[in-house]
Structure formats: C-alpha cells, structure tokens
Amino acid sequence: MANASTTNVKRKLPPCRNACPAHVNVQAYVSLIQRGKYKEAVDVIRNDMPFPAICGRVCFSPCEDACARTNIDQAVAIRSLKKFVADIERQQTKVKPKAIPKKHKEKVAIIGAGPAGLTAAYELAKLGYPVTVFERMAEPGGMMRYCIPDFRLEKFVVENETNYIKDLGVEIKTGVEFGKDIRLESLKKDGYKAVFLAIGTQAGMKLNIPGEELKGVVNAVDFLRDIALGKHVEVGEKVAVVGGGNSAIDAARTAKRLGAKEVTILYRRSREEMPALPSEVAEAEKDGVKINILVAPKQIIGQNGKVTAIECLRMKLGEPDESGRRRPVPIEGSEHRYEVDMVIPALGQLAESKCIPKELLDEKARIPTISIDPLTLETKVPGVFAGGDVATGPASIIEAVGAGKKAAVSIHLYLTGQNVRLGREENIEETTWVKNREQIKKKERRYETHAEKPRLNFEETVDYLEKLERNAKFEAFRCLCCGPCAECLANTDFCEGDKAVVDEVLCIGCNVCAVVCPFGAAKKDENNVARINEDLCKGCGMCAARCPTRAITMKKLTNERIATLALTPLKGR
Amino acid sequence: MENDKPKIVCFMCNFAFCENETKPPSNVNVARVNCIGRLDPVTIVEMFENGADAVVLTGCKPPDCHYLEGNIQAERAVKMLKKLLSLAGLEPERIKLVWYSPIEGKSFDYHIKEYAEEMAKLVSSLLKTDKLESKLMTNILAAKNAASNFQLRVLLGREKELTEGVNVYNEKLSQEEFDELLDDIVETEFVRQKIYVLTKNVPLSVKDLSEAVGMKPAAVLKQIVNMRRKNMIACDHLEGQTPLYRALEAE
C-alpha cells in the first residue's frame, strides 16, 4: 500500500474494481470462487477491506453497476458472491487471526468505531501501528450496528467482523465520548501522534415543520438505534415515514415488523429519484409498505400532545437541481391529510456539531462539517485527519471504508515523515472486454440473482447448500475477468500473460485477426501489417488460431504446444 | 483390451475446467486450452494424423464465453471440419463439440464416458499411426492441407463480418449463401490438396488421378489447370501422349 503511493502509478483496473470506493479486487476473488478456493477469496477481500460479510449483505454494490457483463446480459452478482464466500469462511474457519506485531512506536487514536474508523484501524494495524479506537456507544460497529436493522444485517455478522479487527491487535475502547471524556488536546497529552476523526453523522435531520415536537414523532435514526439497543419502542397503528433513502425504507420495514398495521412512505420526488436501492424498495413493498410519491409534509397535527394526522402537499417535478435530480415543486391548494399516529422523519443525517472541535469546523458549510483535503483527508490541524460521513455527508459503508483506507495511508506517510500528498493522485484507466458496446446484442436476463432464503429442515439444508455452492460457482464463471491479470491465475500456463506476436514478413494484412479478435486488440496499421494492442489483448489466441498465413503466434501456448499437450500421453500408450 | 478402445483427445476450455470433476478414462486425454475457440482447425486434423480416433471440444455454452465469442468460433471450425472429415472418408461424428459447465447437471466424466462408448460403437475402424492405410493417410493429409489453405481460413475467420455486416459493395450475404460458399471451397480445396498429396512422390496422369479422387477426368483437369496457375503442380514428363503431373514444393 505504502509502496504504491510513493510513485505516480498508472494502474489499469477492471471496471468493478475501479467503481468500488475501496478498490476491492473483485476480479481476483470471483475467479478464486470459480475454482472453489473460498478461503483465499476471503483473504483477497480482507486484503482490501475488513468487512466481507457486512458488505456482502448491505453494500450498494457500485461494482455491479459498472460490471462489463451488463453489456452482454446482466451484471455478475458480485455482492451475493461476496456474501457466499464470507459465510462459508465463517462456517469453515474458526481460527482467530494472529495479532500483528507492532513495528512502530507512534500511537494512533481513532475516534468512532464505524466503518471508516474501523477500516483505518485495520489498515494501520496491518502496517504495525499501535491503534486505539474510541467509541461512544457500548459496542463497536457504528451505523452498521445501530442503524441497519437485523433483518438486513445480522448483529452477529457485525460482531464477527469487529472481533476480527480486535484480534489483529486493535484496541477498541467503548463508552468513551469525544468532546466529553476525551478531546484533541487530551489525546495529544496521552501520547497519540495522529488522530483520525470518523465520528459519522449521528443526528437525524429535522423536518422543520409545525408539530414536530408532538409525541409520536420519532426520527428514523433514533428509532432504529433504540431498536438495535433492545429498548422497548412503541409503534403506532398507522405510521408515516417521510423520506426516500435507505433509512426510510429500513424504518418502514422495521415498523411493519413491530406490528404497525399500515406503514406509508411519503416521498417528495418520483420513484426514479428515490435514493434507496431499488431492490430494497421492492422488498419493502413485498412487506406491505405503501409508497406515496410526490408528497411533502406541511404540518403534523396533534391532539393532547399526540400525533393524529399529517398534512401534506402534492408535488410536481420541476427543473433538475445541482444534484441532478428534478426539483419538487409544491402544487398550490393540494393540501390533504393522512390519519396517522406516528411519524418517522428519515430525511438524512447531520454530524453532531457539539462533537466537532471548533478549529476543525468548515465555516463555509451550511451544515456542521469538518473541512478536509479530499485527497489526503488532512484537516487544518497537523496530525489530525478526518473522513467518512462527518466530512462528506451521509454516504455508504463502502465509501466510508474507502475513506478509512485513504486515512491510513495518509497517517502512515505523516508518521514516517514523508510527503502526504506525494503520488496520491492515481491515474487509473479502466479496462473492458467489450469492443463495441453499441454493437453487442443484449441477451435477455437469464438469472435471478437475489434468491430468497427458504425455510428448510436439516436434510433439505444440506442439499440447498450444495446447490448454493454450484450456483455460486456458476455465477462466478460468468465473470469476464476484464482486468489485466487475475491473481489466482498467476504462474500457470493459462495466465492472462500470454501475448500474440505478429511475424511482419508473413502478415499480408488480410484483416482476419481484426475480425476474429473479440476485444478489438488486433488492427491493421498503415503498412497493412497487423498490430496487436497489448493493453487490449487478453491472450486468448483466437487470432493465432485463425490467421490464414500463420503470421500470428502466441508467446506461451503456441499451436505446436497445444498439439504436444494433446498427443504426448496418447503416443506413450 | 486396452488397445481396442478408441483413443480420444479432449480439448477443454480452461474456464470450464474443474479439477476434482475431471477424471477421464485412460483412453481419453484431456488437454486444457484457454478457450476452445483458440484451436486451429489444422491442430485438430493433426490429432487424426497422429493416431487419435476422435476429438472432443469441451467448452462453455454460449453466451458464457470468457472471451465473448470463442465458443462460437469453435462451433464454426467444427462445422467446417465435419465437412472435411466426411470428404476424407471419416465419420463426422469423430469430432464433437460439448457444451459443458462444471456446475451444470451432468458431470464432465459423464459426458466423456458417454461419448467414448458412443465412439466405440460407431467408429468402424481405429486409426493406428503405424498401420494407417495409405489411402486414408492421403485423405487426412489432404484435409490438413485444406484446413491450412489461405482462402478457406480467410472465409472461416470472416464469417461474422460477412454474414452480419455488408461488404464493400454494400451486399449482404445470408447465412445459407455463406454456408454454400464455404462448402464449395472446402470441397474444391480438398480435391486440390488430395491431388497435391497424391502427386507428391509419384507423377500421375489425369486418368490415374480421376480414379483416385473419384471425379471425372475433365473436373480433375480443371483443378490441375487452377493448381498450375497457383504453382502447386507442374507437368513432370510425358508418357507417350499423356502428361504426368508432379506436385511442386511450396516456396
């Protein structure tokens, strides 16, 4: 990691890896799953981030959106594959990881045991730093533990993955509140040489409409947190959830599960603009949650201090705003009421301004944010870094993981006295298999990727698991492996490293190679001689197999070698 | 008897290969290649030349090719090769294309055993290198030469371009027209190569050749005229009034 950041490297990444904020080596673990090497696959994931099982469940999988296979039929179910290997690894290996010996003396403090903080701790521990994570809540995990309901992300999964980080030698101190029990100065006094602030956005945004103080109005973050803490939460009969993000969906589904008879999501834009994952929205509807679009609350009406109804306005979509989504415009006189006894605002989260030291605050921002250098995550105070939701606004787990990784590199460079900015701007080029995206005939979807968990008895489960494994392998085989090299295939004869070589004397410029090559790597140059673009060539050898004059040969697996491979055992008989 | 079993060469796509599922019988040799589309048609014919009785290509079922179109390329080559084999007097079933995926119902071993049994029944004679009949050997060599012919390979390689796009004159070729064209070239080329192989060592007359090839003397002569133009063959000497032809070494 540190080596890669010292020079300005030009990397070629497959689209999935490039799309991932944490740059997880998707291609490598998918091809390891193809070959049934599950443990190695998890190791590959752990190399890049510490939460294979968590991300396998709740990641919004930008990798799948970027997948080159979408040009052929549909993306490889990368997230499901990750969940699959992570679960198998958990079942098979009960061995704890060994603590990593401390190579460095400089202590690092990390505030907040959420995805960003834990990732930074994990990366720094791997580098050999003594790391202490401070967490306000009783258990580490942050929003992963306290905001995502159990039916999406089981608590034991979070427990396992945080324990893994603990086992590596990271100290996690829970029940310590930043700004109250510890401060930047006190940490400095205690001998911490660097601090990473990853306190996240813990406060739910307010509706700012009349009636918000009524009994029965509970913010989604508080609602979900109380449930995660095991508190008794009273849920009304008719619940309105305001907002269209994942927390809104989570809150609605949780309320439904807690016994609410009718749960309605009120969202001010149209369905396409909903920030929640489409699959989650579909799941919510399956649970019986109603979704009302193009409505915004105007006021909450109460009686005796309790919510009785919510008054809303109809909206229509106007011009796109700076976020690219069309702005909702209220329709005059369209007030209407919903009879409800509970309102859950789920409009987004804010950082708690009282937690952020004054010297770090971004004065220009309207909401409390820490101003950082987006490349290095440095704050105005040297030795203090910040990242994750607190700096970028509420985002996703995988983005927080990406920030954690970035912070770890910065802290390492800072503590070793190197230039923190040096070589950080990576010049990444995407590779892709697909020659002419427009020309490819899209085949119809063939697979249902997100299968439901069935209820089975023990005998059926064995069969089911076997089938699951076969399905996972099949899914993994759909990967086109567009990257330059898959790690597991290294050092074999069939490594992607094979290359086509053109004999310029023999080549007559017939252009067959250009037609045959699936990746557009072969082309005639102005002298009518075939040229192979090495960046695009995947070494499949199809040009060598079809070249009419045998001008193209492969470096490793030549035609002659194939013949020897095939014939030697037969001749021996 | 071990030697009575057909010797089968199985080319297997590396992406369909699965270590613990591949335990072929002893008369089957599995050779892994990175894609079955990577196989040169000549290499496949060479297998027969060297004593294999049958060749199986095991690859991923379309559209699941790691190289997008490799399996389709293989399909085309196999179609052409089957034609060549039947011209050479061998059963076209000696080449088989199997779509296989390590996770689908039937195992690889199942496929291969089934095929081996089928072959044992179907293949009339086993090809044994040392005892290979000279007539059959001539045919196989002719087929091999035909498979390496420039014109044929260009056509084979450009099938997609020709059938899916238009040529420089804005003409479109239908799949049937293309197949006809390819068949035509395969036939002509096979005959030419057979003449070439036959006259390699012994100069032969048109009459001898027409008996050996099984065509009318006029048709053979037409091919010889063409071959002379291509510097493949030349008149060796005259026997009375009859010219005897001999194959020329390639430049």
- Contact residues on chain A for B66, CB-CB shorter than 8 A: 480-481, 540
* B68: nearest CB among A433, A557, A570: A433
Residue with tokens 């809104």: A248
Measured distance CA(B247)–CA(B236) in Å, rounded: 9
B22-26 — which CB contacts under 8 Å span 24+ positions?
B22/B108, B22/B109, B23/B109, B24/B108, B24/B109, B24/B112, B25/B112, B25/B113, B25/B116, B26/A573, B26/B2
Task: For chain A, say whether B66 makes contact (Cβ under 8 Å).
Answer: yes
Measured distance CA(A416)–CA(A259) in Å, rounded: 56
For residues A462 and B55, which has the higher predicted lDDT (pLDDT)?
B55
> Which pair of tokens denotes residue A471?
């399905």
Q: What pLDDT, on the 0 to 100 scale, is given for residue A484? A: 60
Q: What is the mean pLDDT of chain B?
A: 84
A476-520: per-residue pLDDT in tens? 877 877 766 555 554 444 455 577 889 988 898 888 888 888 777
Measured distance CA(B15)–CA(A538) in Å, rounded: 14
ipTM of the complex: 0.88
Q: Which residues are within 8 A (CB) of A303 and not within 5 positions of it... i.e. 6 or more apart?
A: none
Q: Mean pLDDT over residues A203-230, rounded? A: 91
Count of CB atoms within 10 A of residue B10's CB? Answer: 25
B177-210: per-residue pLDDT in tens? 899 999 999 999 999 999 999 998 889 999 989 9
Task: For chain A, say whether B166 makes contact (Cβ under 8 Å).
Answer: no
- Asked if A211 and A302 touch (Cβ cutoff 8 Å), the reply is yes
Measured distance CA(B188)–CA(B194) in Å, rounded: 10
Measured distance CA(B79)–CA(B178) in Å, rounded: 13
Q: What pLDDT, on the 0 to 100 scale, is given for residue A522? A: 86
The CA-atom distances, in angstroms, between A31 and each of A182, A445, A488, B61 are 46, 22, 7, 18
**Residue A496: CA count within 13 A, CB half-sphere:** 20
SS3 of chain B: helix, strand, coil, percent, to 5: 50, 15, 35
The CA-atom distances, in angstroms, between A107 and each of A103, A111, A113, A178, A402 are 11, 13, 17, 17, 22
> Of the given ranges (A108-122, A252-266, A420-434), which has the lowest mean pLDDT?
A420-434
- Contact residues on chain B for A562, CB-CB shorter than 8 A: 11, 31, 33, 38-40, 43
Closest CA relative to residue A508, chosen from A557, A552, A559, A558: A552
A245-281: per-residue pLDDT in tens? 999 999 999 999 999 999 999 999 988 888 888 888 9
Q: What is the mean pLDDT of chain A?
A: 84
Contact A557 B33 (CB under 8 A): yes
DSSP-assigned beta bridge partners for residue B207: none
- Contact residues on chain B for A519, CB-CB shorter than 8 A: 67-68
Q: What is the reported pTM?
A: 0.74
Task: For chain A, say whether B68 makes contact (Cβ under 8 Å).
Answer: yes
A382, with CB counted inside 10 A (0-12, 13-18, 19+), is: exposed
pLDDT at A5 over 60: no
- Asked if A401 and A21 touch (Cβ cutoff 8 Å), the reply is yes
H helices of chain B, in order, are: 41-49, 70-87, 108-122, 134-147, 150-157, 159-164, 175-198, 206-213, 217-229
Q: What pLDDT, on the 0 to 100 scale, is given for residue B125? A: 62
pLDDT at A352 over 70: yes
pLDDT category, A1, cuts 50, 70, 90? very low
Measured distance CA(A258)–CA(A160) in Å, rounded: 26
Beta-sheet pairing, A530-532 with A522-524: antiparallel
The rounded percent of chain A whose pLDDT value lies above 70 is: 88
